[in-house]
Amino acid sequence: MKLEIVQAGNPILRQRARPLSMEEIRSREIQKLIESMRTSMHEAPGVGLAAPQLGLALQLAVIEDREEYHKEVPEALLRERERAPVPFHAIINPVIEEMTEQTAEFYEGCLSLTGFSALVPRARGVRVSCLDERGQHRVIEGFGWYARILQHEIDHLNGSLYIDRMHSRSFTSTENLTEFWKGKPVEEIKKTLGVDGE
C-alpha cells in the first residue's frame, strides 16, 4: 500500500505524536503500517520516514540507509559525513539524548519539504532508547550521518522540522544546491552565505 507523504503546512507535522502501547505495536494494523512505511520510504526514496509525515500522529518512524544510496556519493564525502549503510529498523516511542558536545553541519532535506534543503547543525552522536518493530526494548548509539537521521525522524515525532534548526541563509532549492554548493566544504559555504552563529 503506497501512502501519501504530507507536506509542510499540514498541522499534523506540528503536533507531538502519541506513544504506542505494546498491544498496538504487535497488532496486525501497526505491523502492516510499518511495512507500508518501508515501501513508501524506498519509493520516495528516503532514508527515514515518520508516521506524522503520513498524517498519523504516532510515535513511530522507520529508518534505512541502503548501500545502493552510497554508490553515487564520492568516498571523501561519505567519510566527511561519517555515513555508512544502516539496516532497516523501526523506532517506536523514542527518547533521545546527545552523547557528544560535538556538532556537524550538512545540507539536509525532507520528504515533507520536497525540493528544498538547508544546512542543519546536529549532534554528532546520540543515544536513543526505544522499542523496535517487535516491541523489544533497544538502545541505539548512532554517530555521524546515522545520528543525523535519528535526530531528524525523532524531531518529526515531536512536531519539529529541520527548518526549525537550519541556518536560514542556507535554505535553497534542490536545483540550486546542485548548481552552486555541491561538493563545496561546509565552512566555505557558510562564509559565502554569511552564516555565522545564527
Instruction: Indicate which CATH number applies to the domain containing 74.
Output: 3.90.45.10
Average pLDDT, the chain: 95
Tens of pLDDT, residue by residue over 112-170, are 999 999 999 999 999 999 999 999 999 999 999 999 999 999 999 999 999 999 999 99
Sheet holding 125-131, edge to edge: 48-50, 60-65, 86-98, 125-131, 137-143
Name the percent of the chain lying above pLDDT 70: 98
Residue 183: per-residue pLDDT: 83
Look at residue 94 and tell me if it is in a domain.
yes
Q: How confident is the model at residue 72 (pLDDT cuts 50, 70, 90)?
A: confident
Residue 198: per-residue pLDDT: 52
- pLDDT at residue 100 tops 90: no
Residue 115: per-residue pLDDT: 96
Look at residue 25 and tell me if it is in a domain.
yes
The boundaries of the domain holding residue 57 are 11-193
The answer to whether 163 and 8 have CB atoms below 8 angstroms apart is yes
Catalytic residue among 23, 153, 179, 198: 153
- Most distant pair of Cα atoms in the chain: their distance: 52
Residue 74: per-residue pLDDT: 85
Look at residue 5 and tell me if it is in a domain.
no
Look at residue 153 and tell me if it is in a domain.
yes
> Cell numbers at residue 72, please?
553515487
> Cell numbers at residue 188, please?
566555505
- pLDDT at residue 1 tops 70: no
Look at residue 3 and tell me if it is in a domain.
no
- pLDDT at residue 68 tops 70: yes
Look at residue 34 and tell me if it is in a domain.
yes
- pLDDT at residue 26 tops 60: yes
The DSSP result for the chain, as a single string, is: ---PPP-TT-GGGGSPPBPPPHHHHTSHHHHHHHHHHHHHHHHTT-SEEEGGGGT--BSEEEEEE-GGGGTTS-HHHHHHHT---EEEEEEEEEEEEE--S-EEEEEE--TTSTTEEEEEEEESEEEEEEE-TTS-EEEEEEEHHHHHHHHHHHHHHTT--GGGTS-GGG-EEHHHIIIIITT--HHHHHHHHT-S--
Look at residue 6 and tell me if it is in a domain.
no
Residue 129: per-residue pLDDT: 98
Q: What is the C-alpha separation between 190 and 138, in angstroms, rounded?
A: 37
Q: Pick from 194, 192, 5, 190: which is nearest to 104 by CA?
A: 190
Q: What is the C-alpha separation between 195 and 198, in angstroms, rounded?
A: 7
Residue 77: per-residue pLDDT: 84
Residue 4 among the catalytic residues: no
- pLDDT at residue 197 tops 70: no
Q: What is the C-alpha separation between 16 and 55, in angstroms, rounded?
A: 12
The per-residue b/e assignment along 169-186, b for 16 or more CB within 10 angstroms, e otherwise, is bbbbeeeebeeebeeeeb
Q: What is the total count of domains within the chain? A: 1
| The overall pTM is greater than 0.75 | yes
